[in-house]
Amino acid sequence: AQTVTQSQPEMSVQEAETVTLSCTYDTSESNYYLFWYKQPPSRQMILVIRQEAYKQQNATENRFSVNFQKAAKSFSLKISDSQLGDTAMYFCAFINAGNMLTFGGGTRLMVKP
Amino acid sequence: NAGVMQNPRHLVRRRGQEARLRCSPMKGHSHVYWYRQLPEEGLKFMVYLQKENIIDESGMPKERFSAEFPKEGPSILRIQQVVRGDSAAYFCASSRGQGVLGTEAFFGQGTRLTVV
C-alpha cells in the first residue's frame, strides 16, 4: 500500500513571498501520478498541479511549481508571489496504475498581508 | 460537462436515523472514491468503486456503512443508525481510470452531515 506524508501541519508566508510545502510518499510502483489539491474555506477541492512519474521535467502552472525527486520519493510544491487567495489547506495526493487515490494529511497555509 | 455532483450539500440527521449521500460522477467517469473529512483534519479514504463493483473498501467502518455504484444512477454512501461521531464532510471524487491519461480525479463539493 502507498502512503503520503505531509510533515508540515501549518505554514505561513508573507504576501508576495515564496513558500514551499513538503510531501513525501512511499510506493513500490514505477508508474503513477502525483497531485497537489487546494481546499479553500469554501471546502471545494481544487486541483492545483499534477506530475506524471515518468516525466523528469517538473510541472509548472503559473505561480505554482513542483520539485519532483523520484528517487527520494519527494514531491514539494512551491508557490511564488503568494497571494491572499492562496490561503487554504493543501493536500498532496498519489494515484497508482490501479487507480487507488491516496492523500496526505494536509498543510494549512496562511498568507499574511 | 457538469462536474461531480453531490447531494445534498447539507444533511441533518438525528441519532439512529439513516443518512444517504449521493454522488453523480462526471460524464464518462466510471471510477468513484468516497472520502471523509473531520473538522480540521485531512481526507480519509473510505471506499473506491467502479460500476457495480467495490474495488477497495479498506477505509470503511465495518458496521453501519455501505456504498454502491450501480450500473445506472449515482453512487450512494449509506450510513445506518448514525451517531454523533459520523458528523463530517463527505467528499466524492471521480475519474476515468483508464490508463495514464485517465487518472486525474475531480471532486464534488461535498456533503456536510450533522448528527444531532
Tens-digit pLDDT profile for residues B83-103? 999 999 999 999 887 655 556
What is d(CA A68, CA A91) in angstroms, rounded to the nearest whole number? 15
Give the per-residue pLDDT at A39: 93
Residue at A34: amino acid letter: L
Q: Which three-class secondary structure state does DSSP give residue B100?
A: helix
Q: Are B86 and B98 in contact (CB under 8 A)?
A: no
Q: Is the pLDDT of residue A68 over 60?
A: yes
Give the angle B77-B82-B50 at the CA atoms, nearest 5°: 10
C-alpha–C-alpha distance, residues A87 and A104, integer Å: 18
By Cβ distance, the residue of B42, B55, B93 closest to A104 is B42
Query: What is the three-class DSSP state of A77?
Result: strand
Cis peptide preceding B8, ω within 30 of 0: yes
What percent of chain A shows pLDDT beyond 90? 72
Identify all chain A residues contacting B91, using CB atoms and an 8 Å cutoff. Answer: 45
> And the C-alpha cell for B115?
448528527
Strand partners, A68: A75
User: Averaged over B45-50, what is the pLDDT?
Assistant: 92
Average pLDDT of span A96-102: 78
DSSP B23-86: EEPPTT--EEEEEEE-TT--EEEEEEEETTEEEE-TTS-SSSEEEE--SSS-EEEEE-S--GGG
Judge whether A8 is closer than 8 Å to chain B, CB to CB: no
pLDDT of residue B1: 52
Question: Chain B contacts of A91, Cβ < 8 Å?
Answer: 42-43
Q: Give the Cα separation of B18 and B46 in Å (integer).
A: 18
> Looking at per-residue confidence, does A2 or A10 come out higher?
A10
Q: Specify the DSSP class assigned to residue B98.
A: S
Per residue in A9-64, pLDDT (tens digit) is 999 999 999 999 999 999 888 888 899 999 998 888 899 999 988 888 999 999 99
Q: Which of A45, A49, A94 to mutate to test the interface with B (most CBs of B within 10 A)?
A: A45
Q: Which long-range contacts (CB under 8 A, 24 or more apart) does B60-68 make?
A: B67/B34
